[in-house]
Chains A and B, each alone.
Chain A
Protein backbone atom coordinates (compact mmCIF):
# COMPACT_ATOMS: atom_id res chain seq x y z
CA UNK A 1 0.00 0.00 0.00
CA UNK A 2 1.32 3.46 -0.90
CA UNK A 3 1.95 5.70 2.10
CA UNK A 4 -0.10 8.93 2.10
CA UNK A 5 1.87 12.03 1.05
CA UNK A 6 3.58 13.85 3.93
CA UNK A 7 2.48 17.38 3.04
CA UNK A 8 3.74 18.69 6.37
CA UNK A 9 7.31 18.03 5.13
CA UNK A 10 6.87 20.39 2.16
CA UNK A 11 7.37 24.16 2.14
CA UNK A 12 6.36 26.54 -0.66
CA UNK A 13 7.73 30.08 -1.09
CA UNK A 14 5.12 32.41 -2.60
CA UNK A 15 5.73 35.87 -4.04
CA UNK A 16 3.82 38.61 -2.22
CA UNK A 17 1.27 40.77 -4.00
CA UNK A 18 -0.65 39.89 -7.14
CA UNK A 19 0.64 36.30 -7.24
CA UNK A 20 -0.23 35.61 -3.60
CA UNK A 21 -3.77 37.00 -4.07
CA UNK A 22 -4.41 34.65 -6.98
CA UNK A 23 -2.64 31.61 -5.51
CA UNK A 24 -4.82 31.36 -2.38
CA UNK A 25 -8.06 30.38 -4.22
CA UNK A 26 -6.13 27.88 -6.40
CA UNK A 27 -4.50 26.41 -3.29
CA UNK A 28 -7.85 26.00 -1.58
CA UNK A 29 -9.59 24.55 -4.63
CA UNK A 30 -6.76 21.99 -4.82
CA UNK A 31 -7.93 20.78 -1.40
CA UNK A 32 -4.86 22.11 0.42
CA UNK A 33 -5.22 23.81 3.80
CA UNK A 34 -4.52 27.58 3.75
CA UNK A 35 -4.37 28.43 7.45
CA UNK A 36 -4.08 32.24 7.28
CA UNK A 37 -7.02 34.62 7.53
CA UNK A 38 -7.49 37.00 4.58
CA UNK A 39 -6.33 40.01 6.62
CA UNK A 40 -3.36 38.19 8.16
CA UNK A 41 0.06 39.80 7.89
CA UNK A 42 1.83 36.60 8.94
CA UNK A 43 4.67 35.72 6.54
CA UNK A 44 4.89 32.00 7.13
CA UNK A 45 2.90 29.02 8.28
CA UNK A 46 3.72 25.45 9.20
CA UNK A 47 2.80 22.50 7.02
CA UNK A 48 0.08 20.16 8.24
CA UNK A 49 -1.14 16.76 7.04
CA UNK A 50 -3.69 18.77 5.03
CA UNK A 51 -1.27 21.01 3.22
CA UNK A 52 2.30 22.24 2.85
CA UNK A 53 3.86 25.06 4.81
CA UNK A 54 4.25 28.48 3.24
CA UNK A 55 6.76 31.33 3.16
CA UNK A 56 5.42 34.66 1.88
CA UNK A 57 8.38 36.61 0.54
CA UNK A 58 9.43 39.23 -2.01
CA UNK A 59 9.34 37.89 -5.56
CA UNK A 60 13.09 38.07 -6.27
CA UNK A 61 13.76 35.98 -3.15
CA UNK A 62 11.60 33.04 -4.27
CA UNK A 63 14.11 31.48 -6.73
CA UNK A 64 16.94 31.94 -4.22
CA UNK A 65 15.06 30.17 -1.42
CA UNK A 66 14.13 27.30 -3.74
CA UNK A 67 17.63 26.92 -5.23
CA UNK A 68 19.10 26.82 -1.73
CA UNK A 69 16.59 24.19 -0.64
CA UNK A 70 14.96 26.38 2.03
CA UNK A 71 11.71 25.82 0.14
CA UNK A 72 10.76 22.75 -1.90
CA UNK A 73 8.58 24.68 -4.32
CA UNK A 74 8.15 28.34 -5.24
CA UNK A 75 5.58 30.43 -7.04
CA UNK A 76 7.04 33.44 -8.83
CA UNK A 77 6.52 35.51 -11.97
CA UNK A 78 8.30 34.49 -15.16
CA UNK A 79 9.67 38.07 -15.32
CA UNK A 80 11.54 37.65 -12.04
CA UNK A 81 12.85 34.22 -13.03
CA UNK A 82 14.19 35.68 -16.28
CA UNK A 83 15.68 38.63 -14.41
CA UNK A 84 17.37 36.27 -11.95
CA UNK A 85 19.29 34.51 -14.74
CA UNK A 86 20.55 30.92 -14.62
CA UNK A 87 19.77 29.35 -11.26
CA UNK A 88 19.52 25.75 -10.13
CA UNK A 89 15.74 25.29 -10.02
CA UNK A 90 13.29 23.30 -12.14
CA UNK A 91 10.37 25.12 -13.75
CA UNK A 92 7.72 22.46 -13.24
CA UNK A 93 4.50 24.24 -14.25
CA UNK A 94 2.99 27.30 -15.78
CA UNK A 95 0.21 28.10 -13.34
CA UNK A 96 -1.54 30.52 -15.70
CA UNK A 97 -2.02 33.00 -12.85
CA UNK A 98 -1.06 36.67 -12.56
CA UNK A 99 -0.98 37.00 -16.34
CA UNK A 100 0.77 40.20 -17.34
CA UNK A 101 3.54 41.42 -19.64
CA UNK A 102 6.80 43.34 -19.56
CA UNK A 103 6.53 46.20 -22.03
CA UNK A 104 8.42 49.07 -23.57
CA UNK A 105 6.44 52.27 -22.98
CA UNK A 106 6.98 55.94 -23.71
CA UNK A 107 5.18 59.23 -24.09
CA UNK A 108 4.88 58.76 -27.86
CA UNK A 109 3.73 55.44 -29.31
CA UNK A 110 6.87 55.13 -31.42
CA UNK A 111 9.83 52.79 -31.33
CA UNK A 112 13.14 54.46 -30.48
CA UNK A 113 15.15 55.86 -33.37
CA UNK A 114 18.79 56.39 -32.39
CA UNK A 115 20.36 56.20 -28.93
CA UNK A 116 18.03 56.76 -26.00
CA UNK A 117 17.69 56.42 -22.22
CA UNK A 118 15.45 53.75 -20.73
CA UNK A 119 14.47 53.32 -17.07
CA UNK A 120 13.74 49.88 -15.70
CA UNK A 121 13.92 47.74 -12.61
CA UNK A 122 14.86 44.81 -14.87
CA UNK A 123 18.54 45.17 -15.81
CA UNK A 124 19.00 41.72 -17.34
CA UNK A 125 15.71 41.66 -19.23
CA UNK A 126 16.37 45.17 -20.56
CA UNK A 127 19.92 44.35 -21.65
CA UNK A 128 18.76 41.24 -23.49
CA UNK A 129 15.88 43.12 -25.14
CA UNK A 130 18.15 45.94 -26.31
CA UNK A 131 20.60 43.42 -27.72
CA UNK A 132 17.86 41.45 -29.49
CA UNK A 133 16.38 44.62 -31.05
CA UNK A 134 19.81 46.19 -31.82
CA UNK A 135 18.89 49.31 -29.84
CA UNK A 136 21.53 51.53 -28.24
CA UNK A 137 20.47 52.82 -24.87
CA UNK A 138 21.65 53.85 -21.44
CA UNK A 139 19.80 51.99 -18.71
CA UNK A 140 18.73 53.87 -15.58
CA UNK A 141 18.08 51.31 -12.88
CA UNK A 142 15.14 52.27 -10.65
CA UNK A 143 13.36 50.12 -8.09
CA UNK A 144 9.83 51.49 -8.54
CA UNK A 145 7.56 54.34 -9.73
CA UNK A 146 9.03 53.95 -13.20
CA UNK A 147 6.13 55.85 -14.78
CA UNK A 148 7.61 59.07 -13.41
CA UNK A 149 10.88 58.72 -15.37
CA UNK A 150 9.59 60.02 -18.76
CA UNK A 151 7.45 62.71 -17.07
CA UNK A 152 10.43 64.26 -15.28
CA UNK A 153 12.83 63.86 -18.22
CA UNK A 154 14.97 61.15 -16.61
CA UNK A 155 14.42 58.67 -19.45
CA UNK A 156 12.47 58.73 -22.70
CA UNK A 157 11.27 55.14 -22.30
CA UNK A 158 10.58 52.65 -19.54
CA UNK A 159 10.52 48.87 -19.47
CA UNK A 160 8.05 47.76 -16.84
CA UNK A 161 5.49 45.10 -16.03
CA UNK A 162 1.82 45.84 -16.73
CA UNK A 163 -1.37 43.90 -16.25
CA UNK A 164 -4.11 46.10 -17.75
CA UNK A 165 -2.01 49.14 -18.74
CA UNK A 166 -4.17 51.45 -16.59
CA UNK A 167 -1.24 52.83 -14.57
CA UNK A 168 0.59 53.69 -17.81
CA UNK A 169 -2.50 55.51 -19.12
CA UNK A 170 -2.86 57.47 -15.88
CA UNK A 171 0.69 58.77 -16.45
CA UNK A 172 0.04 59.56 -20.13
CA UNK A 173 2.35 56.77 -21.27
CA UNK A 174 1.72 54.52 -24.27
CA UNK A 175 2.55 50.85 -24.51
CA UNK A 176 4.80 50.39 -27.56
CA UNK A 177 5.96 46.80 -27.63
CA UNK A 178 5.79 43.64 -25.51
CA UNK A 179 9.23 42.65 -24.28
CA UNK A 180 8.06 39.35 -22.74
CA UNK A 181 4.81 37.84 -21.49
CA UNK A 182 4.82 36.93 -17.82
CA UNK A 183 2.72 34.76 -15.55
CA UNK A 184 3.21 32.73 -12.41
CA UNK A 185 5.56 29.77 -12.66
CA UNK A 186 5.82 26.90 -10.22
CA UNK A 187 9.48 26.11 -9.58
CA UNK A 188 11.03 23.25 -7.63
CA UNK A 189 14.31 22.49 -5.96
CA UNK A 190 15.76 19.65 -8.12
CA UNK A 191 16.89 17.58 -5.13
CA UNK A 192 13.55 17.87 -3.32
CA UNK A 193 11.63 17.22 -6.58
CA UNK A 194 13.44 13.91 -7.03
CA UNK A 195 13.65 12.78 -3.41
CA UNK A 196 10.28 13.87 -1.92
CA UNK A 197 7.34 12.31 -3.79
CA UNK A 198 4.84 14.65 -2.11
CA UNK A 199 6.44 17.63 -3.91
CA UNK A 200 5.33 16.12 -7.24
CA UNK A 201 1.89 15.35 -5.77
CA UNK A 202 1.40 19.01 -4.81
CA UNK A 203 2.46 20.16 -8.28
CA UNK A 204 -0.11 17.83 -9.84
CA UNK A 205 -2.85 18.99 -7.48
CA UNK A 206 -2.21 22.66 -8.25
CA UNK A 207 -2.22 21.90 -12.00
CA UNK A 208 -5.39 19.81 -11.83
CA UNK A 209 -7.27 22.81 -10.49
CA UNK A 210 -6.34 25.25 -13.21
CA UNK A 211 -9.08 27.81 -13.67
Chain B
Protein backbone atom coordinates (compact mmCIF):
# COMPACT_ATOMS: atom_id res chain seq x y z
CA UNK B 1 0.00 0.00 0.00
CA UNK B 2 2.74 2.43 0.98
CA UNK B 3 4.70 1.88 -2.22
CA UNK B 4 1.53 2.20 -4.32
CA UNK B 5 0.67 5.51 -2.62
CA UNK B 6 4.22 6.72 -3.16
CA UNK B 7 3.99 5.83 -6.86
CA UNK B 8 0.62 7.61 -7.16
CA UNK B 9 2.05 10.71 -5.45
CA UNK B 10 5.09 10.63 -7.70
CA UNK B 11 2.90 10.42 -10.82
CA UNK B 12 0.87 13.44 -9.65
CA UNK B 13 4.04 15.37 -8.84
CA UNK B 14 5.62 14.60 -12.20
CA UNK B 15 2.40 15.32 -14.10
CA UNK B 16 2.28 18.71 -12.38
CA UNK B 17 5.88 19.29 -13.47
CA UNK B 18 4.97 18.39 -17.07
CA UNK B 19 2.04 20.81 -16.99
CA UNK B 20 4.30 23.47 -15.49
CA UNK B 21 6.75 22.98 -18.37
CA UNK B 22 3.95 23.44 -20.89
CA UNK B 23 2.72 26.63 -19.23
CA UNK B 24 6.31 27.94 -19.18
CA UNK B 25 6.51 27.23 -22.92
CA UNK B 26 3.43 29.38 -23.55
CA UNK B 27 0.76 26.65 -23.77
CA UNK B 28 -2.70 27.38 -22.35
CA UNK B 29 -4.91 24.79 -20.67
CA UNK B 30 -8.27 23.91 -22.21
CA UNK B 31 -10.49 22.03 -19.80
CA UNK B 32 -12.67 19.43 -21.51
CA UNK B 33 -15.14 17.05 -19.93
CA UNK B 34 -14.48 13.28 -19.90
CA UNK B 35 -18.18 12.67 -20.60
CA UNK B 36 -20.61 14.66 -22.70
CA UNK B 37 -24.14 13.86 -23.90
CA UNK B 38 -23.82 10.23 -22.74
CA UNK B 39 -20.60 9.88 -24.78
CA UNK B 40 -17.18 9.36 -23.26
CA UNK B 41 -14.05 11.25 -24.25
CA UNK B 42 -11.91 8.99 -26.42
CA UNK B 43 -9.64 11.70 -27.71
CA UNK B 44 -8.65 15.14 -26.47
CA UNK B 45 -8.19 16.70 -29.93
CA UNK B 46 -11.84 16.52 -30.91
CA UNK B 47 -12.94 17.55 -27.41
CA UNK B 48 -10.68 20.63 -27.61
CA UNK B 49 -11.95 21.59 -31.06
CA UNK B 50 -15.53 21.18 -29.92
CA UNK B 51 -14.80 23.47 -26.96
CA UNK B 52 -13.05 26.10 -29.08
CA UNK B 53 -15.63 26.12 -31.85
CA UNK B 54 -17.86 28.53 -29.91
CA UNK B 55 -15.27 31.29 -30.38
CA UNK B 56 -14.93 33.21 -33.61
CA UNK B 57 -11.79 32.53 -35.60
CA UNK B 58 -10.75 36.15 -35.09
CA UNK B 59 -10.56 35.65 -31.33
CA UNK B 60 -8.04 32.78 -31.61
CA UNK B 61 -4.34 33.71 -31.63
CA UNK B 62 -2.59 31.44 -34.15
CA UNK B 63 -0.47 29.46 -33.75
CA UNK B 64 -2.63 28.57 -30.77
CA UNK B 65 -0.64 26.54 -28.22
CA UNK B 66 -2.90 24.54 -25.94
CA UNK B 67 -3.08 21.42 -23.80
CA UNK B 68 -5.74 19.31 -22.10
CA UNK B 69 -5.33 16.69 -19.40
CA UNK B 70 -7.45 13.95 -17.91
CA UNK B 71 -8.60 10.44 -18.73
CA UNK B 72 -9.64 9.16 -22.14
CA UNK B 73 -11.57 5.93 -22.72
CA UNK B 74 -9.66 3.61 -24.98
CA UNK B 75 -9.63 -0.14 -25.51
CA UNK B 76 -12.30 -0.62 -22.87
CA UNK B 77 -10.60 1.26 -20.07
CA UNK B 78 -9.88 4.77 -18.87
CA UNK B 79 -6.31 5.99 -19.26
CA UNK B 80 -4.81 9.16 -17.83
CA UNK B 81 -3.34 11.31 -20.56
CA UNK B 82 -1.96 14.73 -21.38
CA UNK B 83 -2.67 16.16 -24.82
CA UNK B 84 -0.58 18.93 -26.41
CA UNK B 85 -1.68 20.75 -29.58
CA UNK B 86 -0.64 23.64 -31.79
CA UNK B 87 -3.56 24.89 -33.90
CA UNK B 88 -2.97 26.91 -37.06
CA UNK B 89 -5.26 29.08 -39.18
CA UNK B 90 -3.81 27.33 -42.26
CA UNK B 91 -1.40 24.45 -42.69
CA UNK B 92 1.86 25.86 -41.41
CA UNK B 93 5.16 25.02 -39.79
CA UNK B 94 3.85 24.04 -36.36
CA UNK B 95 6.02 20.91 -36.38
CA UNK B 96 8.89 23.12 -35.22
CA UNK B 97 6.98 24.22 -32.12
CA UNK B 98 5.74 20.71 -31.36
CA UNK B 99 9.12 19.08 -31.85
CA UNK B 100 10.76 21.70 -29.63
CA UNK B 101 8.34 20.66 -26.89
CA UNK B 102 8.83 16.97 -27.64
CA UNK B 103 12.60 17.25 -27.52
CA UNK B 104 12.44 18.99 -24.16
CA UNK B 105 9.99 16.45 -22.72
CA UNK B 106 11.87 13.45 -24.12
CA UNK B 107 15.15 14.74 -22.73
CA UNK B 108 13.52 14.99 -19.31
CA UNK B 109 11.78 11.63 -19.72
CA UNK B 110 15.08 9.96 -20.48
CA UNK B 111 16.06 10.67 -16.87
CA UNK B 112 13.50 8.02 -15.85
CA UNK B 113 15.11 5.30 -17.91
CA UNK B 114 18.17 4.72 -20.02
CA UNK B 115 17.96 7.08 -23.00
CA UNK B 116 19.11 4.18 -25.19
CA UNK B 117 15.78 2.49 -24.50
CA UNK B 118 13.77 5.24 -26.19
CA UNK B 119 12.75 4.80 -29.83
CA UNK B 120 11.01 7.60 -31.73
CA UNK B 121 9.19 6.28 -34.81
CA UNK B 122 8.00 8.56 -37.61
CA UNK B 123 5.56 7.80 -40.43
CA UNK B 124 4.15 10.14 -43.04
CA UNK B 125 0.71 9.85 -44.62
CA UNK B 126 1.50 12.46 -47.30
CA UNK B 127 4.61 10.56 -48.38
CA UNK B 128 2.78 7.22 -48.24
CA UNK B 129 0.00 8.52 -50.53
CA UNK B 130 2.45 10.18 -52.92
CA UNK B 131 4.68 7.11 -53.08
CA UNK B 132 1.90 4.59 -53.69
CA UNK B 133 0.08 6.91 -56.10
CA UNK B 134 3.23 7.29 -58.19
CA UNK B 135 3.62 3.51 -58.22
CA UNK B 136 0.30 3.30 -60.03
CA UNK B 137 -2.11 2.51 -57.19
CA UNK B 138 -5.54 4.12 -57.51
CA UNK B 139 -6.87 6.38 -54.75
CA UNK B 140 -9.11 3.53 -53.59
CA UNK B 141 -6.16 1.14 -53.42
CA UNK B 142 -4.06 3.66 -51.50
CA UNK B 143 -6.97 4.14 -49.09
CA UNK B 144 -7.21 0.35 -48.70
CA UNK B 145 -3.49 0.17 -47.79
CA UNK B 146 -3.93 2.97 -45.24
CA UNK B 147 -6.98 1.25 -43.77
CA UNK B 148 -5.14 -2.05 -43.47
CA UNK B 149 -2.28 -0.40 -41.57
CA UNK B 150 -4.59 1.74 -39.42
CA UNK B 151 -6.59 -1.36 -38.42
CA UNK B 152 -3.47 -3.35 -37.55
CA UNK B 153 -3.55 -5.66 -40.58
CA UNK B 154 0.09 -5.08 -41.45
CA UNK B 155 0.34 -8.30 -43.47
CA UNK B 156 -2.52 -7.18 -45.74
CA UNK B 157 -0.90 -3.76 -46.25
CA UNK B 158 2.42 -5.40 -47.05
CA UNK B 159 0.74 -7.77 -49.52
CA UNK B 160 -0.89 -4.88 -51.42
CA UNK B 161 2.38 -2.93 -51.55
CA UNK B 162 4.34 -6.00 -52.70
CA UNK B 163 1.84 -6.34 -55.54
CA UNK B 164 2.48 -2.70 -56.57
CA UNK B 165 6.25 -2.52 -56.10
CA UNK B 166 8.15 -4.93 -53.86
CA UNK B 167 11.11 -2.53 -53.70
CA UNK B 168 9.02 -0.29 -51.42
CA UNK B 169 8.63 -2.93 -48.71
CA UNK B 170 11.63 -1.90 -46.55
CA UNK B 171 9.99 1.50 -46.07
CA UNK B 172 7.02 -0.11 -44.35
CA UNK B 173 8.92 -1.59 -41.43
CA UNK B 174 10.97 0.23 -38.78
CA UNK B 175 14.28 1.41 -40.26
CA UNK B 176 16.98 3.83 -39.23
CA UNK B 177 16.77 7.28 -40.82
CA UNK B 178 19.93 6.50 -42.82
CA UNK B 179 18.65 3.26 -44.33
CA UNK B 180 15.16 4.70 -44.99
CA UNK B 181 16.73 7.73 -46.70
CA UNK B 182 18.89 5.45 -48.86
CA UNK B 183 15.84 3.37 -49.79
CA UNK B 184 13.88 6.53 -50.67
CA UNK B 185 16.77 7.80 -52.78
CA UNK B 186 16.70 4.52 -54.71
CA UNK B 187 12.95 4.76 -55.22
CA UNK B 188 13.17 8.43 -56.25
CA UNK B 189 15.58 7.50 -59.07
CA UNK B 190 12.76 5.43 -60.61
CA UNK B 191 9.96 7.85 -59.68
CA UNK B 192 11.24 11.28 -60.77
CA UNK B 193 8.10 13.04 -59.51
CA UNK B 194 8.62 11.82 -55.97
CA UNK B 195 10.07 14.76 -54.06
CA UNK B 196 10.50 12.90 -50.82
CA UNK B 197 13.04 15.38 -49.49
CA UNK B 198 10.30 18.01 -49.52
CA UNK B 199 8.25 15.72 -47.26
CA UNK B 200 11.32 14.99 -45.19
CA UNK B 201 12.04 18.70 -44.67
CA UNK B 202 8.74 18.96 -42.78
CA UNK B 203 10.19 16.61 -40.26
CA UNK B 204 12.12 17.97 -37.38
CA UNK B 205 15.82 18.51 -37.55
CA UNK B 206 15.81 19.22 -33.83
CA UNK B 207 15.12 15.56 -33.00
CA UNK B 208 18.86 15.01 -32.68
CA UNK B 209 18.73 14.62 -28.89
CA UNK B 210 16.45 11.58 -29.28
CA UNK B 211 18.82 8.60 -29.28
CA UNK B 212 17.01 6.37 -31.77
CA UNK B 213 14.80 7.74 -34.56
CA UNK B 214 13.25 5.30 -37.02
CA UNK B 215 11.12 5.65 -40.11
CA UNK B 216 8.16 3.39 -40.68
CA UNK B 217 5.55 4.31 -43.27
CA UNK B 218 3.23 1.62 -41.89
CA UNK B 219 2.76 3.90 -38.88
CA UNK B 220 -0.37 5.76 -39.93
CA UNK B 221 -1.89 6.75 -36.57
CA UNK B 222 -5.18 5.43 -35.28
CA UNK B 223 -7.32 8.53 -35.97
CA UNK B 224 -8.81 9.30 -39.38
CA UNK B 225 -7.93 13.00 -39.12
CA UNK B 226 -4.17 12.50 -39.47
CA UNK B 227 -2.90 14.01 -42.71
CA UNK B 228 0.92 14.31 -42.69
CA UNK B 229 3.72 13.26 -40.36
CA UNK B 230 2.66 10.88 -37.58
CA UNK B 231 4.90 9.72 -34.79
CA UNK B 232 5.11 7.63 -31.63
CA UNK B 233 7.62 7.29 -28.82
CA UNK B 234 8.33 3.83 -27.43
CA UNK B 235 10.51 2.55 -24.59
CA UNK B 236 12.08 -0.80 -25.35
CA UNK B 237 10.34 -3.46 -23.26
CA UNK B 238 7.18 -1.43 -22.63
CA UNK B 239 4.16 -2.78 -24.48
CA UNK B 240 2.44 0.57 -25.08
CA UNK B 241 3.54 3.80 -26.71
CA UNK B 242 4.60 6.57 -24.33
CA UNK B 243 3.11 9.12 -26.69
CA UNK B 244 1.48 9.26 -30.12
CA UNK B 245 0.69 12.18 -32.38
CA UNK B 246 0.86 13.82 -35.75
CA UNK B 247 -0.41 16.50 -38.09
CA UNK B 248 -4.19 16.61 -38.37
CA UNK B 249 -6.99 18.26 -40.32
CA UNK B 250 -10.48 18.23 -38.88
CA UNK B 251 -13.66 19.63 -40.36
CA UNK B 252 -16.04 20.50 -37.53
CA UNK B 253 -19.25 22.55 -37.79
CA UNK B 254 -18.36 24.22 -41.10
CA UNK B 255 -14.84 25.07 -39.98
CA UNK B 256 -11.53 23.52 -40.85
CA UNK B 257 -9.03 22.99 -38.05
CA UNK B 258 -5.39 22.20 -38.75
CA UNK B 259 -2.53 21.57 -36.41
CA UNK B 260 0.03 19.23 -34.95
CA UNK B 261 -0.25 17.54 -31.60
CA UNK B 262 0.46 14.53 -29.46
CA UNK B 263 -0.98 12.67 -26.50
CA UNK B 264 1.17 11.40 -23.66
CA UNK B 265 -0.12 8.23 -21.97
CA UNK B 266 0.83 9.14 -18.43
CA UNK B 267 1.16 5.67 -16.81
CA UNK B 268 3.41 4.58 -19.71
CA UNK B 269 5.33 7.87 -19.61
CA UNK B 270 6.17 7.29 -15.97
CA UNK B 271 6.93 3.60 -16.59
CA UNK B 272 4.18 2.36 -14.30
CA UNK B 273 3.02 -0.42 -16.65
Chain A interface residues toward B at CB < 8 A: 9, 67-70, 86-94, 185, 188-197, 200
Establish whether residues B236 and A196, one from each chain, have CB atoms under 8 Å apart when the complex forms.
Answer: yes
Pick the contact of A197: B174, B232, B235 (CB < 8 A). B174
A9 proximity list for chain B (CB < 8 A): 237
- Contact yes or no, B174 A191, CB < 8 A: no
The total of Cβ contacts below 8 Å across the A-B interface reads: 58
Partner of A90, one of B75, B154, B235: B154
Q: A194-B174, A194-B219, A194-B234 are in contact. Are A92 and B155 (CB under 8 A)?
A: yes
Contact assessment for A195 and B234 in the assembled complex, using a CB-CB cutoff below 8 Å: yes
Do B152 and A90 have beta carbons less than 8 Å apart?
yes
B239 interface neighbour in A86, A192, A197, Cβ under 8 Å? A192
Cβ-defined contact, B152 with A189, below 8 A: no
By Cβ-Cβ distance, the 5 closest A-B pairs, closest first, are: A69-B239, A195-B234, A195-B119, A90-B154, A191-B234
A191 shortest CB reach to chain B, Å: 5
Main DSSP-derived SS at the B contact region: loop
Q: How far is the CA of A189 from the CA of B232 in the complex (A)?
A: 14
**Of B152, B153, B156, B214, the contact of A194 (CB 8 Å cutoff):** B214
Task: Assess whether A69 is in contact with B173, with CB atoms less than 8 Å apart.
Answer: no
B171-216 CB contacts (< 8 Å) to partner A:
173-174, 214, 216
Nearest to A95 among chain B residues (CB) is: B155
Contact of B241 with A by CB under 8 A? yes
Q: Which residue of B lies closest to A186 (CB)?
A: B155
* B153 interface neighbour in A88, A91, A193, A197, Cβ under 8 Å: A91
Q: Is B238 an interface residue (CB 8 A)?
A: yes
Q: Please, which residues of chain A bring their CB within 8 A of the CB of B155?
A: 91-94, 185
Q: Is A91 within 8 A of B219, CB to CB?
A: no
Contacts of A195 in B (CB 8 A): 119, 121, 174, 234-236
Q: Which residues of B contact A185 (CB under 8 A)?
A: 155
